[in-house]
Every structure is written in C-alpha cells, then in structure tokens.
Copies of this chain bind each other. A is one copy, B any other.
Amino acid sequence: MRYYALCAFILAGSTVLSGGSAQADERAIGAVDPRIGTGGAGHTYPGASVPFGMVQLSPDTAMTDFRHSYAWAAGYQYGDPTIMGFSHTHFTGAGHSDLGDVLVMPIAGDVRLEPGDAAVPGSGYRSRFRHATEVEKPGYYAVTLDDYGVRAELTAGKRVGWHRYVFPQGKPAHVLLDLRPSIYDYPGKVSWARLHVGADGTVSGCRMTRGWAPGRVLCFAMRFSQPMTARTLYNRETNVPYRGFKGPGYQPVDHDAQNGRALEAVFDFGALKAPLLVKTAISPVSEANAIDNLTREGAGWDFDARHAQAQAAWEHALSVIDVQGTPDQRTQFYTALYHVMLAPTLSTDASGDYRGPDYEVHKANGFDFYSTWSTWDVYRAQQPLLAILRPDLSAQFVRSLVVSAQDSPFGLLPVWAYQGLETWCMIGYHAVPIIADAYLAGVRGFDADAALKAMVRSATYGPYGDLADYMKIGYVPIDKEAEGASKTLEYAYDDWALARMARAMGKTAIADEFERRSRNWRHVWDSKTGFMRARTTDGQFHTPFNPAAAAYGSDYTEGNAWQYSWYVPQDVPGLITAMGGREKFTAKIDALFDARVDPAIFRNVEDISGLIGWYAHGNEPDHHVVYLYDYAGQPWKTQQRLTQIMQTQYALRPDGLAGNDDLGQMSAWYIFTALGFYPVAPASGEYAVGRPFVSKAVVHLGNGHAFTITADNLDDAHPYVGAVTLNGHPLPRFFLQQKDVLAGGELHFVMQATPQTK
C-alpha cells in the first residue's frame, strides 16, 4: 500500500517524500523502493531479481534506436506511457547498455506483431499502463496492462523468471515472444536466432547478438502452466543485404522451429479461467543448459511460493545492516543497499558451466562464476563494501575475475564484462584494486598467487590502453592513446593497489616495482596550471588546454581537468604538496564545488551529471573528492559538503539518483557515507570519516562481528560532527582503520549545529 501512497507524491512532483507516520512493514525489504533510479539518469530497472541473480525480469518501456538510447539503458523510463513487454536481462544503472533478452508480452484479443508507436494506442503490441497499478518490491513487480486488461506479476529465482498473467474473462489469451528487440537496438544486432517448441511444450532457443559484448549468445527455455491451443512462429526479417531464396520459413508457420535473424512467436491459449504462469530460465551457454536450469530450478507452478522465496532471499541479503531512522531514511538506505546487491550477476549454469571471455564453455569447480563487471565504477565503493559485508561472495567474485583472466585470450582480468564476455568499455585495470582490496580486507578462499599473476599480467600487457608507453615513459601519451591523462592517473592508483597486495604477500620485488609505478601520477601534473594534464610522447603538455573542456575521447575520461585532477587516492599528501599545501588545496576543492557552471557545457558527455559547481556526483571520478578535506585537516568541510550532496543528489523519487547508479557504485557511496565513512583509496585499509546520516546502524560483518554506528543529536539542525569515538576512545584523526571495523565495535558520533573547525 505504501507504494501507492508514495506514488501520489511523486506524481505531484514532491521533491522529498515523507514515508508516512507508521511503517506497516518493519522488515528491510519493506523499506526498499525499486522505483528510485528508474527515472532520470539513474538507469535502474524496476523489475524482479534475487541478489546477484542471473535473471533480471523487468518491464521495458522502450528499446530504442542506438543513437538515442542512453536514457533507456535499463529498458524502462518512469515517464513512459507504455510497456513493450517483459524481458529477462537488464543492467542496473549502466551508462552504456545491452540485454533486454527474451521479450514476453501477454496479449488478450487481437495480436499485433510489431511493438508499435507508444504515442499511438493500438498501433502495436505494446500496452498503456498507469503507475497506480504498479507494485515494485525486491523480487516482485506487478502492473496492469490497460490495453489488454491483463494483470501481470513477475518474480524471479536465480536463473528462472516467473510470470503470472490474469487475462480478462472471455477473451482469447496469447503470449507473444519477440527475439528481435534488444536494449541499445540497432540494425543487424541479432546475428542469428533459433526458436524451438519441444514435444512437451517447452519453448527454447538462443540468439546471438552483436552488441556491447559482440558475439554474445543467450539461450532460454520457457514453459507455460496451461497447454497451448495453437502457436505460430515467425521470421520477420526484411531488407537484408543477402536474403537468399524465400522458403516457407519466411511465412508464419505453426511448426516446431524457426531459425533466422528476426524471430517472433505467438502462443495461443484460448479463453482462460485460471491465471497463466510462464517460467523462463536463461543460460549464457546453451539451449540445453537453459532447459536444464529450468528443470532444476523451476519445478512446479506455485508463483506465490517463488515470490516468497525471492522475498526471503532479499530479506536475508539486506539484513546485513540494521538501520534505525525515519521511514524516509530507511527507504533511501535500504533501496541503496538493494541496488548494491544487483551486480555482479551469476553467470554459471546449474551444471557449473559458464562462458568465458574466450567465448568457450568452462566448468566452475567449487565456486559460482559471476559476471557483469563494471570495474571502473565498482572498485571504488561497491566492491569494498561487499568485501566486508559479504566476504563469502567477495571470494567468489575474486575467483570469477581470476578465472576470467585465465580464460582470456589476452590473459587479462575483466575490464567491463558481462555474461563472461569482455566489452573493453572504460579504462584502467580496476579488477586489480577489487582483488587487492578484498585480499587486504581479509577475504580468502582464492588462490592469491594466481590472482597476483593475473593482476601483473593485466598491468603489463602493452597493447591494452597503451600500457606499452606507460611502462616505458611513465605516462600514456595523448598523441598515441585517447584519454591519456585519466589513464595515467588510474593506472598509477591500480599499480599502488597491486603493490599493496604484493607487499602483504611478501612479494617484495613486485611491490617495489608497482610502488614505483604508482608515482606516475606526477608525470601528468602541471604545476603551472594546477591541473592534471595529458602529455604527448615528446613530454610536452597537450595544447590547447581548457580545464573546463570535456568530450568523449579527449584528454580525460568522461570528465574535464577540474574533475580529474584529484585522482591520486594513493598519495593525497603528495597531491596536497603538489597543489601548494593545505590552504591552496582546500581552496581549490572549494572552488570545485563553488564554481558557477552551466550544465549545458556537458551536453555532449551524457555521463557527467549531478553537478555542484564542477563537482559531478552523477559520475565516478569525483566520488572520493569530498573526503579529501579530511586529509588537509578540514573535516568539517567534508561534513558540510556531504550534507549538501546527500540533500541534493539523492531523493525518494524515480529520478532520485543524480546519475547512473553504475552497477551499485552510486548506491554504495550512499551506504558508506550514511554510515559515516568512505574508502577513499580501496586497498589502503583505511576509511576517511565523514558524518553519519542515520542515528544507528548495526553492520553485521561477514566475519561474524558487528560494527555499530551511533549518532547522538542527529537531525537537519545538527549536521556537523562534534565528537567521534571508537569503542569509547576519541578518534585521533578523521580516519578509521579497516581492521578496527572488521574487529567489530562501535563508532559513536555526537552531532552539533556548527562546524568543529579545530
């Protein structure tokens, strides 16, 4: 019920939602609102999955042309008037995209074979819907498809998506299956597809798409709770360079298989008296594996039991942190925690088979293989958070990364991978800090030597991102490789993380070598302009230089000099010195936040959003910056800016995320920040302390200990930290050691109205 009430606020344009006077549902999952992020730039999906599940079964409102698709990266935009159907795979919060596999649409009455125009009701199979009919909960989604009068409910298991459709009385019920559309659609994306109806009524198939991960194969197996009365399989392809001869396959047929690029099927069920259930398993490996996944995990036809299982899985997952706070605070917090637990996603079939970056099928022995690795985003806070909350999962993640490198034709750790395949999106070798941070946080259960070997390989493979020149001259020359400034900075941090792990393992030579490399940030520091800048091979800084300029493929990655010049998390003191000392350093951060910036300047770089001055909270490069005041002895400024960021960049609205959630990174930033600390330099073993945003939180660490955060006097009138103690002892600096967190204990804040400037 709460959701409907919230909805009214949203439609009225309320900025911050009040959660009401009483919580009907005391459980963590009752506080989650999956609508947050489904509007604006959040790019999250509202549909059903289990934590880190293979299936993300969610409504798609548009799968648009790839030239205008950024906003539809999760298939759904809250402002859209129609639903195309329910597809089984989605990224959560990505900036680029793909997926939207195996689109299903329940239809009552006449069937149209094209999705049609959202602005023209009845022009296609898509249906209008009203938000008042939607129910969004972790692991559950429901909506009424108004054009058909069909009530649709979705839930999910690990590898199986469950649909329950109630059709209006007396109208013929159909299920349309469309294997053509994809998120980020474009001509020829589906290279080949197959669709097969087995003798037992199981519908199965695969499609190969040439999308973000080229040559991706996604297979599925689908069963219905009631027998089909008829079926028609279509090959709807037109206008291809070479079509060959027209066989009967290009006509609608009622037979058992179709192969082609543009397959679609309509399954008829006649007038139904009971709900129709559909269960669909997917597999990134094979059709046989999809059938096996369905058989092993999709027994029976009890939708409610499956829904209860999904809820229980979420309640278990979210119970790692008990938060006290207002309903709004709890909703914001648990929705963020929910978003943190959507990726990486399971990519192992029930049999243990998985597909690796070599496109081959491998067997995962003794672990689950996870993929969906947006490493550039999640190494910052999402993976460090899971390393302490869920070391059991973190170990599986690390094993997945390491076997990926072993399976890689290049021997490289994932950069941006999903369903096992590599996309080479973004920069850096940030699987390195993910592994190093996990190792230093005490995560075990993986072969550290093999991991270190893969890390070194990733950090020394010359053809990747011009590491060849980086290793030779200490920076990535902009005349040879785009985004040379940001690449140099991020490589240097990754090198430092690698050195940290090598040092901890006693591999001194490796540690020394990569520590040396971690100082390479200095090669792009221009003391004259006071910014990090790209250099050409001859050592000159790249000109002309405009610290405000940002463009894809420029000197920086999704950012400008203002945004990127802070990226030395491994040596903030060094950066402070370079920038002329503490005074100048903090004045420059102030200037970052206080600048008057016309957001239109970034209209060509979609990812830069959530602006406060130049500071862009909607993208990752500045996520650590607000905590840098701590290093310069001005923690009250960190506290002040955090209040400003939390108030302006997160809200209980569909567009309540200021930028892409980025596979949980935006949300992980929220969780850490709400708890009062943040990993500025993952793998450092240290957190910078900010200010808490909840009055009490008990963090049930994966190691069995509990770490409790409490805050006295916490309210909007008391946004500053007056005192902070760890287990009763005052913290000497605004930093917290990871070992102290892992040991369990209490971090106690006393909040006050004014900054504590000493």
A→B interface (CB under 8 Å) = 66, 186-189, 191-192, 194, 196, 208, 210-215, 233, 240-242, 244-249, 251, 253, 255-261, 358-360, 409-412, 415-416, 422-425, 461, 463-464
Q: Evaluate whether A257 and B211 lie within 8 angstroms (CB atoms) in the complex, with A249-B409, A415-B247, A423-B245 already known.
A: no
Can you list 17 A-B contacts with CB-CB less than 8 angstroms, sorted by A residue number? A188-B241, A191-B210, A192-B208, A192-B215, A196-B358, A196-B360, A208-B208, A210-B240, A212-B244, A212-B245, A214-B244, A245-B416, A247-B424, A248-B424, A249-B410, A253-B463, A256-B409
A212 contacts which chain B residues (CB < 8 A)? 244-245
User: Whole-angstrom distance between the alpha carbons of A66 and B242 in the complex?
Assistant: 9
Contact A464 B248 (CB under 8 A): yes
Q: Which 7 A-B pairs have the closest CB atoms?
A: A247-B424, A257-B409, A248-B463, A245-B424, A191-B191, A192-B215, A245-B425
A192 contacts which chain B residues (CB < 8 A)? 191, 208, 210, 214-215
The residue of chain B having its C-beta at the shortest distance from the C-beta of A233 within the complex is B409
Residue in A245, A253, A258 with the greatest tally of chain B CB atoms within 10 Å: A245
Contact B260 A214 (CB under 8 A): yes
Known: A233-B409, A244-B423. 18 other contacts (CB 8 A): A186-B241, A186-B242, A188-B188, A188-B241, A192-B208, A210-B240, A211-B242, A212-B245, A245-B425, A247-B415, A247-B464, A248-B410, A249-B409, A251-B463, A253-B463, A255-B409, A256-B358, A258-B409
The residue of chain B having its C-beta at the shortest distance from the C-beta of A422 within the complex is B247
User: Whole-angstrom distance between the alpha carbons of A758 and B754 in the complex?
Assistant: 127
The residue of chain B having its C-beta at the shortest distance from the C-beta of A256 within the complex is B409
Question: From residue A321, how far is it (CB to closest CB) to chain B in Å?
Answer: 35
When all copies of this chain in the complex are counted, the total is 2
A411 contacts which chain B residues (CB < 8 A)? 255
User: Whole-angstrom distance between the alpha carbons of A251 and B424 in the complex?
Assistant: 13
Contact B246 A358 (CB under 8 A): no
User: Whole-angstrom distance between the alpha carbons of A412 and B214 in the complex?
Assistant: 34
User: Whole-angstrom distance between the alpha carbons of A247 and B425 in the complex?
Assistant: 8
User: Whole-angstrom distance between the alpha carbons of A247 and B465 in the complex?
Assistant: 8
Contact B424 A246 (CB under 8 A): yes
The residue of chain B having its C-beta at the shortest distance from the C-beta of A197 within the complex is B409
Contact A409 B358 (CB under 8 A): no
A249 contacts which chain B residues (CB < 8 A)? 409-410, 424
A213 contacts which chain B residues (CB < 8 A)? 244
User: Whole-angstrom distance between the alpha carbons of A258 and B260 in the complex?
Assistant: 25
Question: From residue A324, how far is it (CB to closest CB) to chain B in Å?
Answer: 44
The residue of chain B having its C-beta at the shortest distance from the C-beta of A213 within the complex is B244
The residue of chain B having its C-beta at the shortest distance from the C-beta of A427 within the complex is B245
Question: From residue A449, how far is it (CB to closest CB) to chain B in Å?
Answer: 21
Contact A259 B425 (CB under 8 A): no
User: Whole-angstrom distance between the alpha carbons of A208 and B214 in the complex?
Assistant: 13
User: Whole-angstrom distance between the alpha carbons of A410 and B241 in the complex?
Assistant: 25
A187 contacts which chain B residues (CB < 8 A)? 241
The residue of chain B having its C-beta at the shortest distance from the C-beta of A421 within the complex is B259
User: Whole-angstrom distance between the alpha carbons of A360 and B247 in the complex?
Assistant: 18
A359 contacts which chain B residues (CB < 8 A)? 194, 257, 259
Residue in A240, A255, A464 with the greatest tally of chain B CB atoms within 10 Å: A255
Question: From residue A477, how far is it (CB to closest CB) to chain B in Å?
Answer: 17
Contact B410 A242 (CB under 8 A): no
